[in-house]
Structure 1
Amino acid sequence: MVRPPGVRGTRLLPSDRRGQLLAAARHLLERGTIDDVRIETVAAEAGVSPGLLFHYFGSQRGFRHAVLRAAAEELLDHLRPDPSLAPGEQLRAGVETFVEYVCRHPDVYLAITRLDGGSDMRTLHRSTRATLAGWLTEGLTTAGAPATPALTMAVAGWLAYMEEVVLTWLDQPAMDRADLVNLCERTCYQIVMAALNDSEQYERLTDRVRGRG
């Protein structure tokens, strides 16, 4: 059995021990599904007693939520926009990074998005999307898009669309990854155009987004 380093036989600060236990759970999640992340299984993987996990996380449900929250935070760290890039470059980089992350960690992302685990799990998914939507909306409004309800709903809809398209592509990879990225990027511009409903305003916005204005 392969264990994350530094778990067994090592005295750690509580925060470090908690991180090590989450790493052991993540190791299991990479090889299976969230159903495989049980306190008893993770305890055996980490070489500790189940009671230690109950001490840190309170319950099986609390432990799984902590595992998925850590995974969501990792995803957001990868997708955080680079302020040195133009908004259009941020969008392209974000789509490429999102596709790369989901391809490398499909079971982790499926656990975040598709788990029927109650209101706390749904809240985690919504809050992750809301953070991404906030970043994208900020980039668009900085480039001159009006902060309207239509734009807010368009951005939220596009994120849901991209998520579903990428997950469908994982099951049925009927196009190259580069074409998938292009599709998601192109659709973002199209849905923003629909939200603006003004062709001249859209042209000015895309010039600024792409660093031409």
Structure 2
Amino acid sequence: MAPSSTPRGSRLLPSERRDQILAVARQTLEKQTIDDITVESVAGEAGVSPGLLFHYFGSQRKFRHAILQAASDELLTHLRPDPSLSPVEQLRTGIETFVAYVARHPAVYRAVTRLNTGGTVRTLHSSVRATLAGWITEAFVAADAPASPALGMSVAGWLAYMEEVVLAWLDKPDIEQDELIDLCERVFYQIVMVTLDDTEQYEQLLSRMQERA
């Protein structure tokens, strides 16, 4: 709910008002690039004074970072793995959810991954990738995979690959969404197989990853 829809006479806690302002800004990000969003424009949309935004966020740069942080948190919430599923099911579901989210919110995804708004945004982007890599690696370890540096680097490399493929698909959707999901999934297993460099170990790992906890 936007701040302007708050019933007359009601008082919000500072944290609630801040969240409402971010909600308005987050919707604005669907229509504008992060570099086009200003404190003044969001204040007008939210029905508050620009001074209030500066009070909550400190500067326009910090305000934009807070918007991207909210978008990143939203993405991670959607991608959080379901522990009741097997690692194989978690991966497939994660890819499907990721691609569907990006298809619905392309401007938001491009903002987090592509726009050059300073080192803090690059750090935020790296943090999102690191969280996703951690979830995948944990699933591997739970399936008794060797927690090697090579495996960790391969997972990170696959995430970068998937990101680039999905961005290319957004720019030129020459294949169906299901084909894109299948491609990302197949490449993941190929990378794991090459990293392990042991067909028997790979087959055993894949079998364990199909088991539910």
Aligned residues: 211
Say if 1:39 and 1:53, in contact at 8 Å, map to a contact too. yes
The RMSD of aligned alpha carbons is 1.6
For the residues of structure 1 that align with 2:197 and 2:6, how far apart are their CA atoms?
A: 56
Cα drift, residue 5 of structure 1: 5.5
Within 5 Å, give how 1:89-128 maps onto structure 2.
Answer: 89-128=89-128
Report the TM-score when normalising by structure 2: 0.95
Match of 1:6 in 2: 5
Match of 2:30 in 1: 30
Match of 1:150 in 2: 150
For the residues of structure 2 that align with 1:23 and 1:48, how far apart are their CA atoms?
A: 13
Runs (5+) with no aligned partner, structure 2: none
Say if 1:136 and 1:155, in contact at 8 Å, map to a contact too. yes
Q: What is the CA deviation profile of residues 57-108 of structure 1, one whole-angstrom value per residue up to 9, with x for unaligned ones?
A: 0000000000000110010000000000000000000000000000000100
Q: What is the CA deviation profile of residues 114-138 of structure 1, one whole-angstrom value per residue up to 9, with x for unaligned ones?
A: 1211111110000010000000010
Report the TM-score when normalising by structure 1: 0.95
Cα drift, residue 33 of structure 1: 1.1
Match of 2:211 in 1: 211
For the residues of structure 1 that align with 2:49 and 2:36, how far apart are their CA atoms?
A: 17
Cα drift, residue 140 of structure 1: 1.1
For the residues of structure 1 that align with 2:96 and 2:5, how far apart are their CA atoms?
A: 33
> What amino acid maps onto 2:162 in structure 1?
M
Partner of 1:147: helix, strand, or coil? coil
For the residues of structure 2 that align with 1:5 and 1:55, how far apart are their CA atoms?
A: 18
Match of 1:177 in 2: 177
Match of 1:137 in 2: 137
Match of 1:88 in 2: 88
Match of 1:79 in 2: 79
Cα drift, residue 8 of structure 1: 8.2
For the residues of structure 1 that align with 2:75 and 2:3, how far apart are their CA atoms?
A: 20
Partner of 2:30: helix, strand, or coil? helix
Match of 1:66 in 2: 66
